[in-house]
Chains A and B, each alone.
Chain A
Amino acid sequence: MRKLIYTVRQSLRISVQNIITNKMRSFLTMLGIIIGVAAVIGLITLVQNATSSILGQFSELGAGTLSVSAPGTAMKQGLTDADLKTLMAVPGVKGVSPQVSGSTAAVYDFKVYDNVSVTGRNELYFAYNDVVESGRALNASDMSGNINVCLIDQDFRTNILKGTEAVGKTVRLNGAEYLIVGVQKQDNSLFSAYSDRSNLDGSVIIPYKNALTMSWNKNVTSLDIYVEDGASNADVEENLRETLDKIYNNTEGAYQIFNLDSLMDTMNTVSSMLSTMLGGIAGIALVVGGIGIMNMMLVSVSERTKEIGLRKALGAEPARIQTQFLLEAVILSIIGGLIGVLFGCLIALIGARLMDTPFAVSPSAIALGLGFSAAVGIIFGWAPARRASRLNPIDALRAE
């Protein structure tokens, strides 16, 4: 054991000496590995960061949430209050929040604003979503009493209230006086970033029944279902289908359920596929790098035939020669791997800055890169090292 450590240490020294004396060539040889590893780490990290940030947005939006769109049938449009109660009783459902969307004109300070988006919600929406920045959320008594209260968003405050204190003011929405009781947080989600709000003066949330009245609708056609903790989205979706089928008499197309979980599953699959694909491409780069190493090692062996012969004459066993050359290849590729890791992190950092996602390099990517480069060194260093170890000392000494 001690002898082995000694051998490895001495071979290591000799290998490092050889790498240093051939700096330029060593660097060129490492280039393939550097590019391969940088590609592995850079690309994998980019994909992972991008998907994890998208997934983060999704889960913020819809962890444990199912969205139901229920236009209904000609006979029965949307869902009545009684239907909502039925849905509330479905196993695994902890809350039902209708969503009634429309737009109207708002009047404030004797000015008319034509494009104000109005969304009707119930108190459960606020219980399960953290949207209130200041003031209060809508509560159960607002709902039961059809009270004219609203929460405004940041755009509303900027464009209509001109940035003044909002809570306590009143606005006229669709002809009725509404008391502003709260302000919503800025919506930073990915979806809001991609929805065009430029022609909106602002948005408000009001009790959903008020919104139904305002939009001349009797029934709710769109709602969010909050799933109980520990219940699976898929199971609850199944239960909901049963209930909704009953409500709509099994009519085709009466409703649709969007399960964000399954969307996230799909995203995950896509991202891991992408990672694998990019990993594969980077793997090819690594193999090319490995061939570079093999080439350099073969050149090195034939260039140093005489040296090998001399070492053998002086008592180097074949195993030592093999260890020396193998270590040389492995060290070369690991140094290349380390440089590659640095470049890969740099790529990931730049990518993160450009895509505005948080920068994080997964340790597994680094381990993968380094492991791969060491493996490449061993695999592609093996044949040249073996060739060196098998050289006949006399022929080797005679070589010029």
Chain B
Amino acid sequence: MKRFGKMRPSGTTSAAEPYTPGEDEILHMAHIVKDYRIGEETFRALDDVTLTVKRGEFLAVLGPSGSGKTTLMNIIGCLDVPTSGDYYLSGKPVRGQREAQLAQIRNKEIGFIFQSFYLLQKQTAYENVELPLIYANMPEKQRRERVEDMLEKVGLGDKMKNFPNQLSGGQQQRVAIARAIATNPTILLADEPTGALDQKTGAQVMELFHALNNEGRTIIMITHDAKIASHASRIVRILDGKLSEGKLEDA
């Protein structure tokens, strides 16, 4: 089993040019490399990725299967740490942090939306949305209000007591979105958010994303589907671990 201690970046991290975050930059990655060791060999899943995201942006990361999208998302979401390179979130370096601190960063800064929703099946929609608020130590009363607000916002005010298996796929994803925005995170991080949905419900989710983006929320959406990516205001392409700025028209 992997231990967290081993995942912290090793001394190989390049001490590149010092970074001072711009006014509205909330995410900055410089020369991020992620190597996976498979036995004797190392596999470079991310190769010198540099990326800056501004507040309020709706960014799509577009790339085919195996290109390193999930790897990138894990690093952006502080679920994993890069082999080398610098990563600043909200102007603060994410480096050498212990897992406990990473967990707090995830709780405060990142709202995850997963392809297969990842709702706790034995808990109601309400309880699922409540979860990150519990980990944020929000008092009970405030939490109740917040959960109800979030579920109303995604149009599920009447389904709070439903268990995930009593909800449609689109509704489940909306619960997941309510959960992701509950702590008012800096970034919404979505990995193939429509991957498990049909076109119509996928479109509904995209509408919701637009609405959230119009509220000023920053969204990073990872997808292999150019059509879905076209909903974003900015697209970057990833191929074999290399990132390149894409044009909207390419999509």
Residue total for A at the interface (Cβ-Cβ under 8 A): 29
Q: How many A-B residue pairs have CB under 8 A?
A: 72
State how many angstroms separate the Cβ of B38 from the closest Cβ of chain A.
14
Q: How far is the CA of A316 from the CA of B79 in the complex (A)?
A: 12
Contact of A395 among B2, B112, B123 (CB under 8 A): B2
Residue in B4, B104, B106, B122 whose beta carbon sits within 8 Å of that of A313 in the complex: B106
| Inter-chain contact A312/B80, CB cutoff 8 Å | no
Contact (A318, B118) CB under 8 Å given A313-B112, A392-B7, A395-B2: no
Name B179's closest neighbour in chain A (CB-CB): A314
Q: B100, A314: Cβ atoms under 8 Å?
A: no
Interchain CB contact under 8 A, A314 and B1? no
Scan A293-328; emit 1 where CB is below 8 A from any B CB, else 0. 000000000000011001111111111100000000
Min CB gap B133→A, angstroms: 9
Are A17 and B106 in contact (CB-based, < 8 A)?
no
Contacts of A169 in B (CB 8 A): none
A315 and B3 within 8 A (CB): no
- Bound: A387/B179 CA distance, A: 26
Residue-wise, chain B 127-142 has the 8 Å CB interface mask toward A (1 for contact) of: 1000110111100000
In the complex, the answer to whether B118 meets A17 with C-beta atoms within 8 Å is: no
The A interface is mostly helix, strand or loop, or mixed, namely: helix
Contacts of B131 in A (CB 8 A): 311, 314
A394 within 8 A of partner (CB): yes
Q: Bound complex: CA of A22 vs CA of B209, how far in Å?
A: 37
Which chain B residue shows the least CB distance to A307? B120
Partner of A310, one of B118, B127, B134: B118
Contacts of B107 in A (CB 8 A): 314-315
CB distance from B5 to the nearest CB of A (A): 9
Known interface pairs A320-B135, A393-B79; A314-B2 also in contact (CB < 8 Å): no
What string of 1s and 0s marks CB contacts (under 8 Å) between B178-208 and chain A?
A: 0100010000000000000000000000000
Does A105 lie at the interface of the complex (its beta carbon under 8 Å from any beta carbon of B)? no
CB distance from B102 to the nearest CB of A (A): 9
Using Cβ atoms and an 8 Å threshold, which residues of chain A touch B7?
A: 392
- Cβ-defined contact, A316 with B123, below 8 A: no
Residues in chain A near residue B3, CB distance under 8 A: 390, 392
As a 0/1 sequence over residues 353 to 395 of chain A, the CB contacts with chain B under 8 angstroms (1 = contact) are: 0000000000000000000000000000000000100111111
How many Å lie between the Cα of A370 and that of B179 in the bound state? 39
The answer to whether B118 and A392 have CB atoms under 8 Å apart is: no
**Cα separation A393 to B102 with both chains bound (whole Å):** 11
A 11-32 to B, binary, CB cutoff 8 A, 1 in contact else 0 = 0001001100100000000000
Given the complex, which residues of A lie within 8 Å of B134, measured CB to CB?
Answer: 10, 14
A55 within 8 A of B: no
B90 at the interface (CB under 8 A from A): no
- Does A110 sit within 8 A of B, measured CB to CB? no
Q: Take A17-B122, A314-B132 as given contacts and tell me if A394 and B100 are in contact as well, using a CB distance cutoff of 8 Å.
A: no
Whole-angstrom distance between the alpha carbons of A307 and B104 in the complex? 18
Confirm or deny: B82 has a beta carbon within 8 angstroms of a beta carbon on chain A. no
Give the distance in Å from the alpha carbon of A197 to the alpha carbon of B120 in the complex.
Answer: 76
Residues of B within 8 A of A313 (CB): 77, 79, 106, 112, 118
> Beyond A313-B77, A390-B4, A394-B80, is A318–B99 a contact (Cβ under 8 Å)?
yes
| Contact among A307, A315, A392, A394 with B135 in the assembled complex (CB-CB below 8 Å) | A315
User: Counting CB contacts under 8 A, is B103 at the interface?
Assistant: yes
B136 x A310 contact (CB < 8 A):
no
Which residues on the B side are within 8 Å of A390 (C-beta)? 1, 3-4
A3: which B residues are within 8 A, CB to CB? Answer: 137
Give the residue of B2, B77, B127, B135 whose beta carbon is less than 8 angstroms from that of A316.
B135
Question: Can you list the 6 inter-chain pairs with the closest CB atoms, starting with the nearest?
Answer: A315-B107, A315-B135, A317-B100, A317-B103, A314-B132, A392-B2
User: Which residues does B use to contact A, with CB under 8 Å?
Assistant: 1-4, 7, 74, 77, 79-80, 99-100, 103-104, 106-108, 112, 114, 118, 120, 122-123, 127, 131-132, 134-137, 179, 183
15 additional A-B pairs beyond A318-B100, A387-B1, beta carbons within 8 Å, are A7-B137, A10-B134, A17-B122, A18-B122, A312-B106, A314-B132, A315-B103, A315-B107, A315-B108, A315-B136, A317-B100, A318-B99, A390-B3, A392-B3, A394-B74
Residues of A with Cβ closer than 8 Å to B? 3, 6-7, 10, 14, 17-18, 21, 306-307, 310-320, 387, 390-395, 397
